Amino acid sequence: MKNKIYVLLVAVSLAFALTACTKEKSTDDDKVVKIAYLPITHSLAVLEEAEELEKEDGIKVELIKYGSWPELLDALNSDRVDGASVLIELAMKSKQEGIGIKAVALGHKDGNVLIVSNDIDSVEDLKGKNFAIPHRQSSHNILLNDALAKGGLTVDDINITELAPTEMPSALAAGTIDGYCVAEPFGAMGVSLGVGKVLYSSEELWENSLCCGLVLTDKFIEERPEEAKNFTERYKTAGANLDEEKAKEVAEKYLNQSDEVLDISLKWISYDELTITEDDYNTLAEKVKEYGLSDNPPEYEDFVKSDW
Ligand code: ZN
pLDDT at 9: 42
Are residues 130 and 77 part of one domain? no
Q: Residue 269 Cα, ligand 1 centroid: separation in angstroms?
A: 10
Does residue 51 sit within a domain?
Answer: yes
Contacts with 150 (C-beta within 8 Å, 6 or more apart), sequence order: 123, 205
Does residue 308 sit within a domain?
Answer: no
pLDDT at 65: 97
Q: Residue 109 Cα, ligand 1 centroid: separation in angstroms?
A: 8
The mean pLDDT of 131-145, rounded to a whole number, is 97
Does residue 268 sit within a domain?
Answer: yes
Does residue 105 sit within a domain?
Answer: yes
Are residues 62 and 172 part of one domain? no
Are residues 102 and 23 part of one domain? yes
Cα within 13 Å of Cα(246), Cβ side: 16
Q: How far apart are CA 79 and CA 55, in angstroms?
A: 26
Q: Residue 298 Cα, ligand 1 centroid: separation in angstroms?
A: 19
Of 205, 228, 248, the last residue of a domain is: 205
Q: Is the pLDDT score of 55 beyond 90?
A: no
Of 161, 176, 205, the last residue of a domain is: 205
Q: Residue 98 Cα, ligand 1 centroid: separation in angstroms?
A: 23
Residue-averaged pLDDT of the chain: 91
Are residues 104 and 22 part of one domain? yes
**Whole-prediction pTM value?**
0.89
Does residue 214 sit within a domain?
Answer: yes
Q: Residue 42 Cα, ligand 1 centroid: separation in angstroms?
A: 5
Q: Residue 212 Cα, ligand 1 centroid: separation in angstroms?
A: 4
Are residues 171 and 286 part of one domain? no
Number of structural domains found in the chain? 2
pLDDT at 31: 74
Are residues 105 and 216 part of one domain? yes
Q: Residue 52 Cα, ligand 1 centroid: separation in angstroms?
A: 22
Q: Residue 106 Cα, ligand 1 centroid: separation in angstroms?
A: 9
Q: Is the pLDDT score of 189 beyond 50?
A: yes
Does residue 118 sit within a domain?
Answer: yes
Q: How many CB atoms lie within 10 A of CB 245?
A: 8
Q: Residue 189 Cα, ligand 1 centroid: separation in angstroms?
A: 16
Question: Worst-scoring range by mean pLDDT, 5-14, 73-82, 181-190, 235-244?
Answer: 5-14
Q: How far apart are CA 206 and CA 201, in angstroms?
A: 9
pLDDT at 84: 98
Are residues 145 and 255 part of one domain? no
E-strand spans in the chain?
A: 33-37, 61-65, 83-87, 101-106, 109-110, 113-117, 130-133, 159-162, 179-181, 196-201, 212-217, 269-270
Does residue 254 sit within a domain?
Answer: yes
Of 205, 233, 260, the last residue of a domain is: 205
Are residues 119 and 101 part of one domain? no
pLDDT at 109: 97
Are residues 166 and 241 part of one domain? no
Q: Is the pLDDT score of 2 beyond 70?
A: no
Are residues 102 and 36 part of one domain? yes
Q: Which domain holds residue 60?
A: 2-110+209-303
Q: Residue 247 Cα, ligand 1 centroid: separation in angstroms?
A: 15
Q: Residue 210 Cα, ligand 1 centroid: separation in angstroms?
A: 8
Amino acid at 168: M
Domain holding 200: CATH number? Answer: 3.40.190.10
Are residues 51 and 16 part of one domain? yes
Does residue 27 sit within a domain?
Answer: yes
Q: Is the pLDDT score of 219 beyond 90?
A: yes
Q: Residue 20 Cα, ligand 1 centroid: separation in angstroms?
A: 40
Rg of the Cα atoms in the chain: 22
Are residues 52 and 22 part of one domain? yes
Q: Residue 281 Cα, ligand 1 centroid: separation in angstroms?
A: 14
Q: Is the pLDDT score of 288 beyond 90?
A: yes
pLDDT at 239: 96
Q: Is the pLDDT score of 57 beyond 90?
A: no
